[in-house]
Amino acid sequence: MGTPENPLPPARVELGRMLFFETRVSIDGTVGCVKCHQPFLYGTDGLPRAIGVKDRAGAHNAPTILNAAVQMAAHWTGNRKDVEDQAMQALIGPGAYGNPSYDAAMARINAIPGYRAMFEKAFPNEKDPVTPANWGKAIGAYERTLVSRSRFDAYLAGDAKALTTNEQSGLRKFIGTGCIACHNGVGIGGGMYQKFGVVEEYWNATASKTHDEGRFGVTKQPSDMYVFKVSSLRNVARTPPYFHDGSVASLPEAVKVMARVQLGKTLPDADTDDIVAFLNSLTGTLPKEFATVPELPPAAFQ
């Protein structure tokens, strides 16, 4: 998932992997990318809403980091340009890392021996490579390697036996029901914005306690009220709870909610089961460099 703008030099990816698992840059030493994107939970935290420093609840559910870089933007409301922008901006403010400024965050990095040499190797010919922008570029480079290919990819490549009969039936129903209108492209979603609740208010089906305004909070355009980025369905069977507020715990229920509020359809249980079977085929293999935790540079002697 590297691009000309965001290449993947090995030294940069290696540094990014270290920083992804690093928590000492947060103000209380508890938050790193890994807190919300845990390998054993397929790149999520399993919570309705992300939890930042000092146990502060975030605004939205933490989506999986796997394959995230292929999406059009980061966050449910698209208020971050890409994974690099998301990683950099997470450093400051009351949520996530909680640093009062970028200078404060960089001071925490510089206080850990071993990182400066890695930054210099990852960003050669820079006088002072330990910068917020390079922090974002390094973590983004690592996240762009987190590709999880699934049996569905093998099916698309021509292996007709990669999917079971039930999964193939579910694929046909996924298309025939209309899910494919939004959940399409290489990410099987993540490529457009859409109102959550086209046919009826989403909270009627999800029992959400609050009515999140979605992208309206970013753009202030009335047309963006209750609009969110369409989520990618890759690994969806392994990443509950569902929706921006984590209001639905099970995948079958989430499928029924989507059919109801987006398409005005009531899915029979048999159709729901087949679609869920297909969605299970989207579960990919964890990348080796994500499934294992790196050894981080030791703290300075106190």
- CA–CA gap between residue 147 and residue 39 (Å, rounded): 13
Confidence of residue 299 (pLDDT cuts 50, 70, 90): confident
CATH class of domain segment(s) 10-147+287-291: mainly alpha
Confidence of residue 94 (pLDDT cuts 50, 70, 90): confident
16 has a pLDDT exceeding 60: yes
Backbone angles phi, psi at 229, to 5 degrees: -70, 135
- The whole-chain average pLDDT of the chain stands at 96
180 has a pLDDT exceeding 70: yes
- CA–CA gap between residue 198 and residue 131 (Å, rounded): 43
Q: Where are the beta strands (DSSP E) in the chain?
A: 193-195, 227-229
- Residue ranges per domain, the chain? 10-147+287-291, 151-280
> Is 151-280 CATH 1.10.760.10?
yes
- CA–CA gap between residue 28 and residue 243 (Å, rounded): 29
Q: What is the pLDDT of residue 301?
A: 57
- CA–CA gap between residue 263 and residue 269 (Å, rounded): 16
- 95 vs 72, more confident: 72
300 has a pLDDT exceeding 90: no
Predicted TM-score of the model (pTM): 0.96
Tokens 């409301």: give the residue: 77
| Contacts with 197 (C-beta within 8 Å, 6 or more apart), sequence order | 203, 226, 261, 262
The 8-class DSSP code of residue 287 comes to P
The 3-state DSSP class for residue 187 equals coil
Tokens found for residue 262: 């987006």
Per-residue pLDDT averaged across 97-118, rounded? 96
Per-residue pLDDT averaged across 178-198, rounded? 98
151-280 and 10-147+287-291 share a CATH fold? yes
Per-residue pLDDT averaged across 208-212, rounded? 95
Sign, CA dihedral 175-256-194-2, equals: negative
Per-residue pLDDT averaged across 64-78, rounded? 97
